[in-house]
């Protein structure tokens, strides 16, 4: 199963694709979709992110997707813009017919690092441990790979739970 994780951002939208085969997780690709912060036209920036992320989906053909929840900060305008970028992160997988898992940043950190308030450097380190030899495009891509790993663990756990419930019902 191919899993794409997405770390939404208006300037830098991170993405990471992993392959899951049983308990084995391997790196496929990662990167960052950029929009021009100097372009004051929000619609063009969102369109650019949509186009770039759509190309990532066409190239890597993920089978499931996960997106990190928006972190709400004190700047309401910035939070709203981030929410619009998150809309693109949800829209593109939906256009490819995929279900999208959504995870709070603390849940991703807890799954990947073991601590819900881990620093970015800790996330990067643990992603590298999970995916030996990976070359990470930047912090946003590392976060996206962490989201993908979190989703893979969640899917594996829920699959085991479903199988156990089915066996118990038989």
Residues marked active site are found at 7, 68, 140
- From residue 76, alpha-carbon distances to 11, 67, 82, 126 in Å are 17, 21, 10, 32
Angle, alpha carbons 83-69-11 (nearest 5°): 50
Q: Residue 72 carries which DSSP code?
A: P
The two three-digit tokens of residue 19, written as one number? 């392959």
- DSSP 8-state symbol, 114: S
What string of DSSP letters covers 146-157?
A: HHHHHHHHHHHH
The CA-based angle 109-90-23, given to 5 degrees, is: 45
68 in a labelled binding site: yes
For the annotated binding site, the residues are: 7, 68, 140
Which residues sit in the known binding site for Mg(2+)? 7, 68, 140
């Amino acid at each position: 199963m191919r899993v794409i994780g997405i770390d939404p951002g208006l300037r830098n939208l991170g993405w990471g694709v992993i392959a899951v085969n049983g308990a084995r997780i391997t790196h496929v690709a990662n990167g960052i979709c950029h929009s021009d912060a100097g372009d004051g036209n929000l619609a063009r920036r969102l369109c650019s992110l949509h186009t770039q992320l759509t190309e990532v989906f066409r190239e890597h053909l993920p089978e499931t997707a996960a997106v990190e929840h928006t972190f709400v900060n004190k700047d309401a305008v910035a939070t709203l813009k981030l929410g619009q970028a998150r809309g693109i992160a949800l829209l593109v997988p939906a256009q490819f017919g995929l279900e999208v898992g959504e995870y709070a940043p603390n849940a991703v950190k807890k799954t990947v690092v073991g601590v819900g308030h881990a620093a970015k450097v800790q996330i990067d380190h643990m992603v590298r441990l999970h995916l030996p030899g990976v070359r990470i495009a930047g912090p946003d891509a590392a976060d996206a790979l962490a989201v993908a790993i979190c989703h893979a663990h969640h899917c594996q756990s829920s699959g085991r739970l479903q199988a156990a419930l089915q066996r118990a019902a038989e």
